[in-house]
Amino acid sequence: MRRKRVLLTTVTLAVTGALTAGVLVTMAPAASAGTTLRAAAAEKGRYFGAAVATGKLSNSTYTTILNREFNSVVAENEMKWDATEPQQGVFNYSGGDRLVSHARANGMSVRGHALLWHQQEPGWAQNMSGSALRSAMINHVTQVATHFKGQIYAWDVVNEAFADGGSGGRRDSNLQRTGNDWIEAAFRAARAADPGAKLCYNDYNTDGVNAKSTGIYNMVRDFKSRGVPIDCVGFQSHLGTTLASDYQANLQRFADLGVDVQITELDVMTGGNQANIFGAVTRACMNVSRCTGITVWGVRDCDSWRGSDNALLFDCNGNKKPAYDSVLNALNAGTGIPNPTTTPPNPTTTPPNPTTPPPGGAGCSATVSANSWTGGFVATVKVTAGSGGTRGWSVSVTLPGGTSVTGTWSATASGSSGTVRFANVDYNGQLAAGQVTEFGFQGNGTAPTQTPTCTAS
């Protein structure tokens, strides 16, 4: 299978004084520690995801790890331009649809990757230029984002559009040659096609404050000042044997612009520092309140595009590596997201965790919030355990007339209209006193506004 290839750079500074060769940084897990990556991340209002090749979903070792450990997926290749529009105006969504279906069945959100990238363009687009390419480009964004509307948590709208080196400028490509406003045009088209999805710019070699990351920073600042719809920035983080000392500071400066930040393609070269670097990246994300999730680029070492680098958290037999423990401990020791700015629009996602409301007495309480658009909505329901905790819970939501539920995540639904009963799934039913969990659902029609009824067992 074709693999994404990007330039690896080894940055020069280690993370804190503790990151010396052979020293494994460990952190004690919290009292209510998650025992899987997905559970630990969800408890802190974040996702922990993996890049997936749908051809490997028939491999039981692969899918066992994927379904147990990850609550977000991204397609390695199945949603790129050459896969989704192999001939101009002829679209093929089979690979992307299969991934979304798997995500729905296993309580996962989906990151869309990528609407526009100068590589992996279909041959017909490679041979176009100027206004013809601009028109085809916008049509592609519109058609693909429309097809997956309501199913994608965040899109990498544009991928790798900035040049390496010290200029901080744009990469020369046929897309860039359609006009310097092509990125803005792509983001506006994506917003029109799917108003609920988060829209991200994604790139590599941006792990610290450098010319390239600063060029992207300046673009994002300009977009925010002019109202161009950009919600998040992805940092690929294909790492070597050290990590930039200003990695967290770099994430924070982007977050301070008013966008979410996400680690989108994390992998780390094997060696004495692998576990330390994985842990340090995770801690950096947890320390930035607008860092909403981490995605590793593959499931096992033998699934990685980096070959003998053995750059992931599981070996080829599915065994957890020391880096796994480092990441899990960092997730469990981290701080939850206090006040997310928007509700993810994905019927398979676990949304970020807002401020915990007061415990709901001896049973449980529930509140609902929604992100609505014409004809549809995504609702997030927050469940808070009362003073006795829960071994399981159910929430009844009364829907307005003519409204129906079309998708649910982190809960099971009984019914689709009228009063719908949602019950916990296996990983979020047991809550300590005052502990909060969330589930969500998508619907057609008008979002519910009545306070849900919560029942605990």
Q: Among 333, 355, 376, give the residue marking a domain's end.
A: 333
Q: Tell how far CA 445 is from the center of its chain.
A: 27
* 23 in any annotated domain: no
Residues 116 and 183 in one domain: yes
CA distances from 14 to 20, 110, 209, 240, 291 (A): 8, 32, 14, 11, 21
Cis? peptide before 192, omega within 30° of 0? no
Digit-coded pLDDT (tens) for 245-282: 999 999 999 999 999 999 999 999 998 899 999 999 99
Residues 314 and 371 in one domain: no
Write out the H or E segment, with its range, that includes residue 67.
helix 60-69
**DSSP secondary structure of 6-63:** ------S--STTT--TTPPP--PPPTT--SSHHHHHHHTT-EEEEEE-GGGTT-HHHH
Residues 116 and 210 in one domain: yes
Please identify which residue in the block is written with the tokens 């796994």: 324
pLDDT of amino acid 185: 96
What are the residue numbers of the active site?
A: 265
Q: Where are the alpha helices (DSSP H) in 70-210?
A: 81-84, 94-105, 123-126, 130-147, 182-193
Distance of alpha carbon 168 from alpha carbon 203, whole angstroms: 13
Question: Is the model's pLDDT at 340 over the cut of 70?
Answer: no
* 30 in any annotated domain: no
Mean pLDDT of 440-456: 88
Between 247-255 and 274-287, two packed helices, what is the crossing angle to 10 degrees? 30
pLDDT of amino acid 338: 66
Digit-coded pLDDT (tens) for 174-222: 999 999 999 999 999 999 999 999 999 999 999 999 999 999 999 999 9
Tally the residues of the chain.
457
Residues 320 and 404 in one domain: no
Residues 224 and 369 in one domain: no
* 357 in any annotated domain: no
* 168 in any annotated domain: yes
* 135 in any annotated domain: yes
* 89 in any annotated domain: yes
**Nearest to residue 254, comparing CAs of 226, 307, 214, 294?**
214
Question: Pairing state of beta strands 376-385 and 364-373?
Answer: antiparallel
pLDDT of amino acid 369: 84
Question: Is the model's pLDDT at 131 over the cut of 80?
Answer: yes
pLDDT of amino acid 395: 94
Distance of alpha carbon 149 from alpha carbon 325, whole angstroms: 36
Mean pLDDT of 343-361: 37
3-class secondary-structure state, position 246: coil
Confidence of residue 371 (pLDDT cuts 50, 70, 90): low
pLDDT of amino acid 350: 35
CB–CB of 449/399 below 8 Å?
A: no
301: CATH: 3.20.20.80
357 vs 326, more confident: 326
pLDDT of amino acid 89: 95
Please identify which residue in the block is written with the tokens 């958290």: 313
421: CATH: 2.60.40.290
Question: Is the model's pLDDT at 22 over the cut of 80?
Answer: no
Digit-coded pLDDT (tens) for 384-433: 989 888 989 999 999 999 999 887 766 888 999 999 999 987 667 888 88
Residues 314 and 382 in one domain: no
pLDDT of amino acid 223: 96
* 388 in any annotated domain: yes
258 vs 22, more confident: 258
Alpha-carbon Rg for the chain, nearest whole angstrom, is 21
Residues 152 and 289 in one domain: yes
Digit-coded pLDDT (tens) for 36-89: 999 999 999 999 999 999 999 999 999 999 999 999 999 999 999 999 999 999
Q: Where are the alpha helices (DSSP H) in 127-273?
A: 130-147, 182-193, 211-226, 247-255
Range of the domain at 258: 37-333
Question: Is the model's pLDDT at 15 over the cut of 50?
Answer: no
Residues 328 and 370 in one domain: no
Residues 226 and 324 in one domain: yes
62 vs 167, more confident: 62
What is the number of structural domains in the chain? 2
Residues 252 and 305 in one domain: yes
Residues 379 and 318 in one domain: no
* 81 in any annotated domain: yes
CA distances from 104 to 118, 126, 213, 397 (A): 30, 34, 34, 21
pLDDT of amino acid 406: 81
Residues 368 and 303 in one domain: no
Which residues contact residue 60 at a Cβ distance below 8 angstroms, ignoring those fewer than 6 apart? Answer: none
